[in-house]
Structure formats: C-alpha cells, structure tokens
Chains A and B, each alone.
Chain A
Amino acid sequence: MAAEKSSIKIITLIAADGSVFEVEPNIVKEMKTVQSYIDELDQNTVSIPLPNVFGNDLAMIIEYCKKHASEEETKEAKEEFDFEFVKRMKSDDKLRLLQAASYLNMESFLQFMAKAIAAEIENQSVEFVRDYFQIESDFTPEEEAELRKENEWAFK
C-alpha cells in the first residue's frame, strides 16, 4: 500500500559536481521536476540526482526558495532579498540560473531570472545581446544596415 505523500521528511538533492543538499519538502514544491519525481515515491527519504545543475547554483536556488517559502517574511523583505540576490550575480550566473530554472521547471523563478536578464540587456547594443545569448547573425551586412535604418529611432 502506498504511503501518504507527506511521509517524505527529507529530500537529498545531488548536484552535477557531487555536492549534496538536504532540504525539506516545502522547499522543492516550486521545482516541478523534483516534485513530480517525489510524487511517484512512497518512502521517507529520497535522493535525487540533478546532473544539469551545479552546486553553487543549486545553493542559490535553495536560498531563494527558502526565502520565498517562508511565511514569516514580509513582502517587503522578500523584495529586498530579490534585489540583493540579483545584484551580486554576474551575467553568466544569471544565464546558468535561468537554464537551471528551466531544467527544474520552476515557473516563477524562471520568470524572475528572465526579468533580471531583461533589465540587464534593456539598454544594451545588438552586439552585446548577440554575445550574451551567443546568437549568430544570419543577415547579410546590407540586410542588417537596411533593418537598422528602418528602426533608426530605436537606436537613439
């Protein structure tokens, strides 16, 4: 007979570099990839390997989830946390966390990271954004010049 889902007390997450994180069930609710795995199980403890997420990133994601899952924190404190959380990140960190959010299927964290990246690139040049997302232009120089001319006002 299957045990109650709530019987799981501790979840062990194993990052790509082998680092181990023990978390409570409410912390991983937002990680749908992990949650759907847990839902299939009927044991008290569970270890889940996450081969696409690195330890440093997983630590940050767990920190974010803990803060946002907390019922004691005020809305203002969470906003303040979000602001500082993004501030200490480099561009590469944001992109890795965006990908991790996508892999873990974390809807609101994914949007949070997407917004943070959008804020960073909003006033940047086309070249900067190409470099950021590693996009190869497939326009001929003439085509690109034409397009830039069409949207000239947007470059001011």
Chain B
Amino acid sequence: MNLPSSPSPAHIPNHLSIEVLSFLPVKSLMRMSCLSKFFNSLFTDPLFIKLHLHRSARKPHLALVTFNIETVVPFPVPQLLSNPPITLTDDPCYLTADRVFIPEDFIIRQVVGSCNGLICLLSTATEYRYLWLRFWNPSTRTISKQLGSIRFSHHVLYRLRPYKFSFGYDNSTASYKVVSLIARTCSIIGVQIFSLGDNVWRDISNFPGYPLQLLNHRHKVNGGVYLSGTINWLSASYYPVKSVDQYMIVSLDLGTETYKQMQLPSGFDEIPRVDPTIGVLMDCLCFSYDFKQTHFVIWWMKEFGVEESWTQFLRVSYENLQIDYNFGVQRLYLVPLHLSENGDTLILASDLEDQTILYNIRENSVKRTRITNRMCWYSTKDYVDSLVSPS
C-alpha cells in the first residue's frame, strides 16, 4: 500500500463538531450561529444546552455584584485567584439597572441566586409596594419579563415583616423555582413556591422551625442555599436560640416540596457570638461559625443528607487570616464564598472589609483581592456560562 501517512482529514461529521462546540463559551457560540442553519438551531436545542451546561460547570465563575447591585459581572475564578488589580468594566450587558431591561422607577433590590447560568433578580417599584422577579442570562444577554408580582399589604410593610427568597432547579420536573419565606407572625413562617413556566406563586406547608436568616436582621447572607435539587436553611427549633442543640438545617426538596431536618456536626458544641452560616463548597453543604472569637471553623457534609458524613474541613485562627479587630465592640460575619477546584484556595467575605479574602489553605497564606470597584461581596454567587433561556 502506498497511502500518505497523514492525509487531510475528511469532512467532519456533525456529531464531532457538536462535541467540539460544546466546549466553547456562549459568546463564541453566539457568533457560530452564523455557520449554517443547522448550527443556528443547534444552540437552542435542549439537549445541546444541557451538554454545554455540563461542560461549562467545569469552568467556575463567580457572579460579582457591585455596590447597590448596579452590575452583576460573571468573572472567572482562576483570574480572581491570580489576583491582579482589577477594575470591573462598565460593560452595559452587565448593568442590572440598565433601562433597556428595567424601567427607571424600578430598582433591583437583591440578587436572589444563580443556577445553571440563570441569575434571579428581585426588583421593586420605588414605593416598595410591589416586588417582581426577573430571570437573567448575562451570557446570552437575555432577560425575562417581570414575573411573579407580589403586593405587600400596608400591614406587612408597616410592621416591616421580613421576607427571603431562594432560587434553585428542580431536576424531577426540569423547572426553575423560587421559594419565598414570609414571617406571617412571630412563629408562623409561610412558604410559597414560584415555578418559572407556570409563573404563579403557590402556598406549600409552613416552615418547620425558625429560619435564622429570616429572623436575624443583622444577617447579611441571603435566604436559603441551593444544592442538588434542594434549598437549605440554617434554622432553630426555638428562637432566640438557648442551647446549641436547637440549631438545625431544614432542607426543602424542590421536587416533592417536602421538608427534611438535618442535625449539625456534633463537634459544634457552643453557641457562637454571631449566628453560624451555611453555604456550598465543591458541591458539598458546608457549615461555618466563629469559635471563641479566636478561630473560624468550617465543616462540610461529604455526602449530602447523611449526618454522619460531617467532617471538619478547616479551623483557622483570625491571626492567620490577618483579621485584626476589636471583638469587644465589633461583630464579624465571615462567609466562605468559594473553594478553588484544586481545594487550595478559599474565598471568604468579611463584613468588616471592602475586599474579599483569598486564603491559601496549603501554604497558610492570605491575600486580599484588589478590585477598585465597590463590591457587595455577600451577594456573590457561583455562576456558570450557559445557553439556558430565562423565559
């Protein structure tokens, strides 16, 4: 045989080009929709959107939120960790208050959450009487209409009854859901669920306990924590909490819309000076708190829902985190935002600092980010680049 050893490749079959394209960021794909009619329709195909989302999840981003929630900027985590001096640009696509999106008498009040590349925003009319939800995909630059209008009665507004929203995805029905907690009285917490698609609020059974984030006004972290089809709240069986065994996690399954209670790690045995928090690190539910005003402690639940799998992940002194403040006067809220893919660097937000803390666990070294914009670090969410449609 006398064949060339490296001939030109034959025509690439579609299933292989699809494989390649599934690794591209959304911006490139928006350009590639001009390739041909086949590719143009591919990028709205639910199966391709799912494949692309699966690939994107490996390229972690954080949705960074600037002061007053003026912009929400998807930012690659590796770039944040390399810590150059950063000025977030005024790319109009990331302006949440852009009048193209939202009439000027509406104000974005809160970044409720981020899930599969969709960011759920909460906006109010200026007189605070109404609330709306908006679903936004910054990658495709698409945003939903105002949905799920809630009118607060005078009574509720006057008494400043708190409410909290959480955002997640229900695998069983393939729908995005927003959960709202509303304190109806001091001891009755009503719960409503909004499904994107049906676009209506439905009541479900009342909350089994006292969600701390709803009751403690000083708590700066948003409502529940989304993890694999559930929303989780740090709660108490009695409020104000009198003993450490009254703390618990309440987990709402977005598919069955039923609650489950989970115990905290048994190593947590003293009521801390500020409420503990829960979050997600590397797809594990985590629980963190101040220990005797000298150390910050994080546990994680290696296997979700299995109380025996609580493992202490980190115990670090404030000295090592280079946090120096007057404990007698100040109260520190420290919240883990993200753990790098290799498990080396933990990103932490402190309510006493303008910059976020980059703590290298392996080297026990600390850096502060150098972002010139004023940021709302507590609103930072994990984010992925995706083609998921917000409507």
Contacts and interface: CB of A to CB of B under 8 A. Distances in A.
**Are chains A and B native binding partners rather than an unrelated pairing?**
yes
B12 A98 contact: yes
A148 B40 CA distance: 11
A154 interface: yes
Contacts of B16: 98-99, 102, 114
B5 interface: yes
A102 B19 CA distance: 10
B141 A153 contact: yes
Interface of A: 16-19, 54-57, 92-93, 95-96, 98-99, 102, 110-111, 114-115, 117-119, 121-123, 125-126, 129-130, 133-139, 144, 147-148, 151, 153-155
Given A54-B7, A153-B141, 6 more contacts: A114-B22, A114-B23, A115-B23, A118-B21, A138-B37, A151-B34
A55 B35 contact: no
Interface string B247-286: 0000000000000000000000000000000000000000
A16 B3 contact: yes
Q: Is the interface of B mostly helix, strand, loop or mixed?
A: loop
A127 to B, nearest CB: 9
Given A17-B3, A54-B5, A122-B25, A134 B35 contact: no
A123 B25 CA distance: 10
Contacts of B1: 17-18
A134 B12 contact: yes
A57 B25 CA distance: 29
7 contacts: A57-B6, A98-B19, A122-B28, A126-B31, A133-B12, A133-B35, A134-B11
Contacts of B24: 118, 121-122
Contacts of B174: none
B9 A99 contact: yes
Interface of B: 1, 3-13, 15-17, 19-25, 27-28, 30-40, 93, 141
A115 B55 CA distance: 10
A77 B304 CA distance: 33
Given A17-B1, A114-B22, A115-B23, A129 B9 contact: no
B92 to A, nearest CB: 9
A148 B31 CA distance: 8
Contacts, number: 103
A153 B93 contact: yes
Contact of B9 (A16, A96, A122): A96
Nearest to A124: B28
Contacts of B35: 126, 129-130, 133, 135, 137
B19 A114 contact: yes
B8 A121 contact: no
Given A99-B10, A133-B17, A17 B5 contact: yes
A19 B5 CA distance: 9
A155 B36 contact: no
Contacts of A136: 36
Contacts of A111: 19
A92 B9 contact: yes
B133 to A, nearest CB: 25
B291 to A, nearest CB: 34
A95 B16 CA distance: 9
Contacts of B13: 102
A136 B36 CA distance: 7
Given A95-B12, A99-B12, A56 B34 contact: no
A130 B37 CA distance: 13
A124 to B, nearest CB: 8
B6 A96 contact: yes
A110 B39 CA distance: 20
A76 to B, nearest CB: 11
Give the 10 A-B residue pairs with the shortest CB-CB distance, closest first: A118-B23, A154-B30, A95-B9, A114-B19, A151-B30, A154-B31, A114-B20, A96-B9, A126-B34, A117-B20
Nearest to A96: B9
Contacts of A114: 16, 19-20, 22-23
Nearest to B31: A154
Contacts of A18: 1
A45 B10 CA distance: 33
A99 B12 CA distance: 8
A135 to B, nearest CB: 5
A110 B15 CA distance: 12
B341 to A, nearest CB: 12
Of A16, A118, A121, chain B has the most CB atoms within 10 Å of the CB of A118
Given A121-B20, A138-B36, A153-B141, A56 B6 contact: yes
A98 B20 contact: yes
A150 to B, nearest CB: 9
B175 to A, nearest CB: 28
A144 B20 contact: no
A126 to B, nearest CB: 5
A4 B39 CA distance: 48
Contacts of A133: 12, 17, 35
